[in-house]
Amino acid sequence: MTYIAKSNRYSEMIYRRCGNSGLKLSALSLGLWHNFGDVDVADNYKKIVHLAFDSGITHFDLANNYGPPPGSAEANFGKILKEDFKAYRDELIISTKAGYSMWEGPYGDWGSKKYLFASLEQSLKRMQLDYVDIFYHHRPDPETPLEETMAALDLIVRQGKALYVGLSNYSAEQVAQSIPILKQLGTPCLIHQPKYSMFERWVEGGLLNLLEQKGVGCIPFSPLAQGLLTNKYLKGIPSDSRAARGEFLREEHITPELLNKIKALNVIAVERNQTLAQMALSWLLKDERITSVLIGASKPEQLKDSMKCLNNIEFNNDELDAIENILKS
């Protein structure tokens, strides 16, 4: 059956300007870190992508190593683009990244011009695209001069293989060093993608203020703290959770104190007529410095549930104080 996007797809979504650029992003963006690899069910992830676009999500975020196996998320997304989204390419913001290990040898990792250029070439072939909208350096490289990495990003834009560039996992100090280099080259930094959630707040120690001052957008990943900020852990550690599997999150990290915080936060969410996950997303979006929040989904129903956070992104002072008291306890 031929996919035809819903005609009213832009009516419910919120769009925010990305820093000082001319680009707006949907308040929620779909990340393809999990659930889009060759190990996953194609019919399921197709439905997720269709639902996302039908709901006004225009930004789809990938990286060279997403899968598993690495590269398969891009290849699978490329098939969806070709089969279902060819007519809508100009309505989409597609991003990818390079910076983590992707292939054997000295040129398949980190931040050299050789690696970044080659990786994007591979990503474009996998997605069957002429260009991506945003290309990120995925993590800082302690051994490659920043000037080389930033020059690679500038070259990629000048060659028309990306429209904008961004940084991910850079500290505030590293961002502060990178922004003027890119500006001098003539390719400003559009956006930064940090790990940020109620349980991981390092960005509040200076990065958010810096991004605001420099006119750079911010798009947090892992907003639900690998599933901790959902109803999954309200009754303990489920056997099918990432913590139980030791996948990015270890069971020993789920302390009784942490579980008590999750339960207390859930009480506030219920009072707001939200799930804990919805409140966690709203809590990030309450800050106008946040351009968009990256969400994942293992099934369409999960995405539909996350979208409901947009119905209530305002917090009163009592709610904010109560949340702070729980998080600091």
pLDDT digits (tens, 9 = 90+) for 260-290: 999 999 999 999 999 999 999 999 999 999 9
Amino acid at 137: H
Tell me the torsion sign for CA atoms 124, 127, 130, 134. negative
CB 291 within 8 A of CB 217: yes
Domains of the chain: 15-227+284-313 (3.20.20.100)
Residues of the chain with pLDDT under 50: none
pTM score, whole prediction: 0.95
Distance CA 312, CA 103 (A): 44
293 pairs with which residues across the strands? Answer: 28
Distance CA 328, CA 137 (A): 33
Amino acid at 177: Q
DSSP 8-state assignment for residue 129: -
What pLDDT, on a 0 to 100 scale, did the predictor assign at position 234? Answer: 84
CA distances to 71, 111, 194 from 106, in Å:
19, 11, 26
What pLDDT, on a 0 to 100 scale, did the predictor assign at position 253? Answer: 73
Tell me the torsion sign for CA atoms 289, 292, 295, 301. positive
Chain centroid to CA 151: 24
What pLDDT, on a 0 to 100 scale, did the predictor assign at position 254? Answer: 82
Q: Is 42 helix (H, G, I), strand (E, B) or coil?
A: helix
